[in-house]
Amino acid sequence: MFRQPIAVFLFLGLQLHFLSPTRAEVPQCEADMGVKIEKILQERGLDRSPWGILVQNLDSEEILYSRLAKQYFLPASNAKILTTAAALLKFGSHFQVITPVYATGNVPHLTSLRIVGRGDPSLNTAKLQDLAEELREMGVTRIDELIVEDSYFPDGGINATWEWEDVYSYWGTTVTSLNLNENAVTLTLLPGYLGEPVRLQWGDILAGKQWEVENNTVTDQEGTPYGIRIDTRLGENVLRITGELGIDLEQDIWGLAVPDPAGYFLDTFRFLLSEIGIEVGSGVVVHDTGEIDYGVPFRSITSPPLSLLLQKTNAESNNLYAETLFQLLGGEEGVEEVLTILGVESHSYSLVDGSGLSRHNLVTPEAIVATLRLMAKTTQGHVFRKSLAVAGVSGTLKNRFMDKKISMQAKTGTLTGVSALSGYLTIPSGETLVFSIMVNHSPSSVRDLRRAIDDIVLLFSRFDSCLQ
């Protein structure tokens, strides 16, 4: 009496064998994906390095592929995903950093003018110029004492875990309460006369004067291979420039950190005031204010809203912006407090900075994907997603996937031997995947690692065949 049901089941089994894969068969898809990913890594000689990969359906939360997803990796700038998510949830998209200005005395003669730094990473010369013009329009002709206060971030400065070769470059600038022009300056090297030293040209003389330069370069004949090198001395603001520059080379541009951002801020504002006829007696940077009389609120300088600051942080991968947000949050404890409420497990990551420049950061692909997935379901989800670079369109992804028709918003990450990409990928079916790919300890070039990551993302973009 059991023959007929068995025959029916056999018939249905044959039918299912020839039908398209169903959601119940996704594990087989995962196995197929694993084979294809392994092939990419083996063919390019990248399989000796650890790869952490996790891809998940945003809506169903189904894990489509996982590889070492619970293992710690150096995240590089993918750490910014955690920092910016926490900042957005704590402060909201309309939050602005306010830099207050106080004064004592009466127009036209002010006894003091005090600018109190609050960490605004967007402050630039143009904003200080506007403040100077306001003072002139009010009739101010003299300021006895110009004070700039750098005391808001007790844990600011250079992160002790950053590498020395990073901290004199524009991407590793000092984090302070008073930032100006992103605390960076350009140094352009130009050919001199044949046999003479290379000419140096600072983008900002006031910033450049903080460096003592030892110029041991030579302008060489046409066709000379590029050989310029810039080194610094540990603990000293000294640039040692050596090597040869061909006389036929138009220019060689370096981006450098400003060693003393608060001092640069003071020098710049004092110069701007003098340029429009406002006399300044003394100028001072204060780090420990104690009990003092600030005077009366005079003016304030306001940053763009956090939604725009996040775009600078994520899409352009700006380290200073990320470190400022990290300080505003109260460091790792502040980030952890917010992300725990969001639902991200605290043991899945460990941050010592907000930008990912430190090699002491440890983050799992699971933590990145959880943050992306949970953020998408908050009221700030659209703002967060908009802050990421768009494949082939903007930010650090502008020149990647240009000839590929994919819809992706993601965060890149790069250190020596480290490459990462995490974000949102919309596949042709209309479904959105959240993913994280991180590779560590690789001797391969950045270009080779990125190509492999991009090929893996293209595999993810064809997950439709598994989800029908």
Q: Are residues 337 and 451 in the same domain?
A: yes
Geometric angle at alpha carbon 396, from 370 and 170, rounded to 5°: 105
What is the CATH number for 402? Answer: 3.40.710.10
What is the CATH number for 286? Answer: 3.50.80.20
In which band, very low, low, confident or very high, does the pLDDT at 19 lie, cut at 50, 70 and 90? very low
Q: Are residues 328 and 424 in the same domain?
A: yes
In which band, very low, low, confident or very high, does the pLDDT at 7 lie, cut at 50, 70 and 90? very low
Residue 172 lies inside a defined structural domain of this protein: no
pTM: 0.91
Could you report the per-residue pLDDT of 62-100, keeping only the tens digit for each? 999 999 999 999 999 999 999 999 999 999 999 999 999
Question: Total structural domains in the chain?
Answer: 3
Across the chain, mean pLDDT equals: 91
CA distance 403 to 394: 14
Could you report the per-residue pLDDT of 272-314, keeping only the tens digit for each? 999 999 999 999 999 876 667 777 888 999 999 999 999 999 9
H or E stretch including 340?
helix 332-342
CA distance 269 to 129: 8
> What is the domain range of residue 225?
181-257
Residue 136 lies inside a defined structural domain of this protein: yes
pLDDT at 467: 53
Question: Measuring CA to CA, how many Å separate 168 from each of 67, 317, 323?
Answer: 37, 18, 16
Q: Are residues 223 and 288 in the same domain?
A: no
Mean of pLDDT values over 9-24:
35
Classify 105 in phi/psi space as left (phi over 0), alpha (psi -120 to 50) or beta.
Answer: left
Q: Are residues 311 and 355 in the same domain?
A: yes
Could you report the per-residue pLDDT of 389-442, keeping only the tens digit for each? 999 999 999 999 998 889 999 999 999 999 999 999 999 989 999 999 999 999
Q: Are residues 88 and 145 in the same domain?
A: no
Could you report the per-residue pLDDT of 201-258, keeping only the tens digit for each? 999 999 999 999 999 999 999 999 999 999 998 778 999 999 999 999 989 999 999 9
pLDDT > 90: what percent of the chain? 83
Q: Are residues 89 and 113 in the same domain?
A: no
Q: Which among 359, 357, 358, 369 is positioned nearest to 70, based on CA atoms?
A: 369
Residue 17 lies inside a defined structural domain of this protein: no
Q: Are residues 364 and 408 in the same domain?
A: yes
